[in-house]
Amino acid sequence: LTIQNSVGDALTWTFYNQLGQVVLQTSSNGQISIIDINQLQGGGYIVRATDSKGIRFAGYLLIE
């Protein structure tokens, strides 16, 4: 999974399953984040990005 980071700060990416459990957490620096999601099973995931100031961004990822 490749995500362009328009903020430019280091981000912590957290992936939650349908039960709200953390299934993957990783950090990235720079404007492009490359995240290995091969370990995730098919289904829907809430993806939250948090920067060093605690500002959060969220989205939904569907893996078929």
Domain 2-63 sits in CATH at: 2.60.40.3080
* Burial label, 11 (beta-carbon count in 10 A; 0-12, 13-18, 19+): buried
Q: Quick one: pLDDT band at residue 28, thresholds 50, 70, 90?
A: confident
Structure confidence by residue, pLDDT tens digits, 29-47: 878 888 999 999 999 999 9
Q: For residue 54, what pLDDT is reported?
A: 85
What are the extents of the domains in the chain? Answer: 2-63
pLDDT at 23 over 90: yes
